[in-house]
Structure 1
Amino acid sequence: MVKFGAFLICAVLLGAAPTQSTAVFRGGRIIGGEIARAGQFPFAAAIYKNTADGTYFCTGTIIMDDFILTSGQCVDGAILFSILIGTNNLNANEGTRLSTDTYFQHPGYNPETLENDLGIIKTRLPITFTDYIQPVNFLADFRLPDGSSVFTLGWGQTSDEESGLVNALNYVVVVSLTLEDCMLTYGSQVTDNMVCVEGNYNQGTCRGDLGSPLIQYGSRGVTYLVGVSSFISSNGCESTDPSGFTRISPYRDWIRNITSNN
């Protein structure tokens, strides 16, 4: 795995066993979560990325009928994507496979500090929406208040001992922290464009949850995308250290520009 100070990128290389010297993981699983119901999170996308050195897994969010939002890390170095939507089960013969047209990495993305850690993937054909395939309702135009209850989800590891992906989509309820509380763990690497969350005991994201959405529910079940999973602690998924996300609100103009002009 690659460590940046106290940061640990939470992606997993498919088919590769984790070692002490390998710090980058593509794939993983929600720690302390519950299995999602069919159609509970119809905006969730499982992303398989081919690069020059292997195939990696991460998660994304359907934001329009031809765009999926994920992390900048998830699109970095990509040659080809295969995306699965409309199912919670990675191994089931169901859901819809998408081919892609191109991708966009935020121009300010910094792989060392994980600043501006956002990417957008454009699908080759428009997505057909169903009860099990829907875009997230809104990109948050507000700063998530400290102490907010939010959801995150993914197919990542459920413990530090278990490597590789899980078949079923898991989710967990977590609480957003103040910037100062996040900096107690990660120091000055944390910026105001990031938000940290923590759950009860050790609940949160793990390797493989890279790019996963951070969701706040509004009235009548409306979903707001408030963050995208970016990093976990180098102390491990079960360390009780908070998980880190890129905030959405500072990047709405960039997202709107990409989706409107491509």
Structure 2
Amino acid sequence: MDYGAGVLIAPRVLLTVASLIKGFESWTVRYGSNIFGQLSSVTSTIAFLHPNFRTGEHFNVNDIGVVLLPNPIVGNVSPISLPQTEVSLPRQYEEGQITNFETNLADPSQGFTPTSILRSAFLTVFPQPVCAQTFPNITESVFCAFDDHYLSNLCTGDRGTAFVVIFRGIETLAGLTSRVSPGCDDRSTFTQIQPYIDWIRAVANL
């Protein structure tokens, strides 16, 4: 059993990381409330992970996947926009928003409690040479983002969390959380969305 996050990009299409798909035959998606114990759920048995996905010591490569839902999610949950620009997103030193449920504060490895609430933080994207100090040989389709001021961070259960930027007035999905620090006290890496747009649209029939 594993758990993490994902983001709706169409009423029946959830984008997440391949590391949450590989090795499993079904996926339960919870949605619709900012309180964990009040979420609705739907289970899918159809998912695709990127054919070139591989895990690494410091970061994962091509860590992206698609879960197809049996029924569309409608109501108070809206799909997010994918990047539709030649501008490379996220840009260096751009601030992005991450949103996920807080884990069990006493023991993050135990996951979420029924009263866990949705929280947001803002992280800054740093250039590859800065990322490489923590993640040697980091590739172009992977970026790192962190907050050294408030020390906001990602933790257990946060893989697949969306990294969202505002591009020309539109909330746009720029990345997905790929690797987090085991101790929840270090920097995280993200899969950049733009290089995979064609693959996403093909497997999701968008």
TM-score computed with the length of structure 1 as normaliser: 0.70
Q: Equivalent residue for 1:19?
A: none
Q: Which amino acid aligns with 1:109?
A: F
For 2:31 and 2:123, locate their aligned partners in 1 and report how far apart those are by CA, in whole Å. 24
Q: Equivalent residue for 1:217?
A: 166
Q: Which amino acid aligns with 1:181?
A: V
After TM superposition, the structure 1 = structure 2 runs for residues 63-74 of structure 1, keeping only pairs within 5 Å, are 63-74=9-20
- Structure 2 residue corresponding to 1:103, chosen from 37, 42, 47: 47
Q: Structure 1 160/204 Cα, relative in aligned 2: closer, same or farther at 3 Å?
A: farther
Q: Equivalent residue for 1:152?
A: 98
Unaligned runs of 5+ in 1: 1-54
Q: Which amino acid aligns with 2:202?
A: N
Q: Equivalent residue for 1:174?
A: 123
Number of corresponding residues:
198
Q: Equivalent residue for 1:30?
A: none
Kindly report structure 1 stretches of 4+ aligned residues shifted beyond 3 Å: 139-142, 156-163
Q: Equivalent residue for 1:237?
A: 184
Matched, 1:260 2:173: no
Contact map agreement 2:62 2:191 (CA 8 A) in 1: yes
After TM superposition, the structure 1 = structure 2 runs for residues 72-221 of structure 1, keeping only pairs within 5 Å, are 72-92=18-38, 95-112=39-56, 114-127=60-73, 129-130=74-75, 132-139=76-83, 141=85, 142-143=87-88, 144-157=90-103, 162-166=108-112, 167-188=116-137, 190-199=138-147, 200-220=149-169
Residue deviations 1:92-127 (CA, integer Å, cap 9, x gap): 2xx432221400000000023510000100001222
For 1:243 and 1:140, locate their aligned partners in 2 and report how far apart those are by CA, in whole Å. 25
* RMSD, matched Cα: 2.0
Q: Equivalent residue for 1:32?
A: none
Q: Equivalent residue for 1:228?
A: 176
Q: Structure 1 211/140 Cα, relative in aligned 2: closer, same or farther at 3 Å?
A: farther
For 2:4 and 2:144, locate their aligned partners in 1 and report how far apart those are by CA, in whole Å. 19
Unaligned runs of 5+ in 2: none
For 1:67 and 1:162, locate their aligned partners in 2 and report how far apart those are by CA, in whole Å. 28
TM-score computed with the length of structure 2 as normaliser: 0.88
Q: Which amino acid aligns with 1:62?
A: L
Residue deviations 1:49-98 (CA, integer Å, cap 9, x gap): xxxxxx22110000011110000101111122111111121112xx4322
Bigger CA drift: 174-183 or 148-157? 148-157
